[in-house]
């Protein structure tokens, strides 16, 4: 059964379709949401292995695997391929893949001829619950993740949960980190409350999509409330940026988010915003999705702080999304010493846990 989650943004409104086999509705959806389209370009990766039919003459373009594909050079290459395919701004780009593909193809579509319609066919859990929804597109720089991009809403998002059956374990982990985030935000919609690990996967996707739609509709351009969707991401993005320069740090996005969520809880406790019980709640939610919350060994606090200062929420200060007596909210002006001390707490906790596990 296909479930439909609306994203009500006036003339930019669209639906998120969730269900096993929903990708087979692509031709119908394209005809409805981009009736002017006479051709399509499908953007995907070699390892995706999901075929789609937009119902139009189509050229398939593959981009490199991995996060390295999210680069300005790949945006240029995609736009040149769009031009050579004869794509016009009345036609359609179809992104088939995970968050890397939807971020990259969406930004290329936003840039090509100053805005070309696109549709996301999300094939990973990360894309289905988060990356493919909401219109935030972009690529990375060596200085940080997603520092170049555009707000460009898709015309539709198809979340085919049948494609998740072939996901590798670490790709599951990458998506579960985002599901855990939604589980900790405390937002309830008409589609239900927080997603939990015990729910069927279709229901997890629907609830996450509904929460994201609710937040995006209230703050499309990330002026305030939408920043809540970055819960756990300030440290997560810093860890991912550090990994660009250090092959010994190996984290998928959701794995980094899990670490970031627990870090945010510990920082909130240090600032007197929450108590021990609330920190343990964060640990339980993260653990229920089979995610670790240990800070990777070898990362340098000064390097992480430098990347955190470049975070999109920051405005010349250290800014975090933190839990508190009024729920999760954006908190500015965090003192550097509190961040360093919290990182040290995480590191010492990890070492104590390692010693304990190694004791008979």
Residue 354 pLDDT more than 60?
Answer: no
- Percent of the chain scored above 70 by pLDDT? 93
The candidate with the shortest Cα–Cα distance to 340, out of 294, 312, 306, is 306
Q: Does 225 qualify as catalytic in the annotation?
A: no
Per DSSP, the residues of 168-197 read -HHHHHHHHHHHHHHHHS---BTTBS---T
Residue 243's pLDDT band, with cuts at 50, 70 and 90, is confident
Residues 6 or more apart whose Cβ sits within 8 Å of residue 339: 267, 301, 305, 308, 318
Catalytic residue among 70, 145, 155, 237: 237
Q: Does 120 qualify as catalytic in the annotation?
A: no
Span 260-284, pLDDT tens digits: 999 999 999 999 999 999 999 999 9
Residue 208 pLDDT more than 80?
Answer: yes
Query: Where does residue 84 rank: exposed (0-12), middle (13-18), buried (19+ CB within 10 A)?
Result: exposed
Q: Does 253 qualify as catalytic in the annotation?
A: yes
Q: Whole-angstrom distance between the N-terminal and C-terminal Cα of the chain? A: 51
Other Cβ atoms less than 10 A from the Cβ of 13: the count is 12
- Which domains can be identified in the chain, with CATH numbers? 3-167 (3.40.50.1970), 225-355 (1.20.1090.10)
Q: Does 212 qualify as catalytic in the annotation?
A: yes
CA distance 120 to 155: 8
Report if pTM > 0.85.
yes
Catalytic residue among 3, 23, 70, 136: 136
Residue 226 pLDDT more than 50?
Answer: yes
Residue 355 pLDDT more than 50?
Answer: no
161: its two tokens: 């949960």
Q: Helix 99-111 and helix 72-84: axis angle, to 10°?
A: 60
Q: Does 281 qualify as catalytic in the annotation?
A: no
For 128-149, what is the mean pLDDT?
A: 92
CA distance 192 to 90: 37
Q: Does 136 qualify as catalytic in the annotation?
A: yes
Span 28-87, pLDDT tens digits: 999 999 999 999 999 999 989 999 999 999 999 999 998 889 999 999 999 999 999 999
Catalytic residue among 23, 155, 181, 212: 212
Task: Quote the pLDDT of residue 349.
Answer: 63
Task: Quote the pLDDT of residue 359.
Answer: 35
For 352-359, what is the mean pLDDT?
A: 40
Q: Does 24 qualify as catalytic in the annotation?
A: no
Cβ(22)–Cβ(50) under 8 Å?
A: no
Task: Quote the pLDDT of residue 143.
Answer: 81
Residue 298's pLDDT band, with cuts at 50, 70 and 90, is confident
Q: Does 237 qualify as catalytic in the annotation?
A: yes
């Amino acid at each position: 059964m296909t479930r439909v989650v609306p994203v009500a943004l006036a003339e930019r409104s669209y639906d998120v379709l969730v269900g096993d086999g929903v990708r087979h509705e692509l031709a119908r959806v394209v005809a409805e949401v981009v009736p002017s389209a006479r051709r399509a370009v499908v953007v995907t990766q070699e390892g995706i292995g999901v075929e789609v039919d937009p119902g139009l003459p189509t050229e398939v373009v593959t981009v490199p695997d991995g996060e390295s594909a999210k680069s300005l050079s790949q945006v240029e290459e995609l736009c040149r391929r769009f031009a050579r395919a004869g794509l016009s701004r009345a036609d359609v780009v179809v992104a088939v893949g995970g968050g890397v593909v939807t971020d990259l193809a969406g930004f290329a579509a936003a840039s090509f001829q100053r805005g070309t319609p696109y549709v996301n066919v999300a094939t990973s859990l990360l894309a289905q619950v988060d990356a493919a929804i909401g219109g935030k597109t972009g690529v990375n720089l060596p200085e940080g993740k997603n520092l170049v991009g555009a707000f460009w809403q898709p015309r539709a998002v198809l979340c085919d949960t049948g494609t998740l059956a072939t996901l590798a374990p670490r790709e599951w982990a990458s998506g579960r980190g985002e599901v855990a985030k939604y589980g900790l935000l405390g937002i309830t919609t008409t589609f239900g409350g927080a997603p939990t690990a015990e729910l069927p996967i279709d229901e997890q996707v629907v609830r996450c999509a509904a929460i994201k739609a609710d937040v995006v509709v209230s703050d499309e351009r990330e002026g305030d409330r939408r920043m809540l969707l970055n819960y756990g991401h300030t440290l997560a993005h810093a860890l991912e940026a550090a990994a660009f320069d250090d092959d010994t740090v190996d984290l998928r996005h959701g794995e980094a988010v899990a670490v970031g969520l627990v870090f945010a809880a510990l920082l909130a406790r240090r600032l007197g915003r929450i108590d021990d019980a609330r920190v343990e709640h964060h640990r339980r939610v993260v653990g229920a999705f089979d995610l670790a919350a240990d800070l990777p060994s070898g990362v340098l606090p000064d390097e992480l702080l430098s990347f955190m200062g470049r975070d999109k929420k920051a405005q010349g200060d250290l800014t975090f999304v933190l839990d508190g007596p009024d729920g999760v909210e954006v908190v500015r002006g965090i003192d550097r010493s509190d961040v360093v001390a919290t990182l040290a707490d995480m590191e010492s906790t990890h070492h104590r846990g390692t010693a304990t596990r190694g004791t008979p």
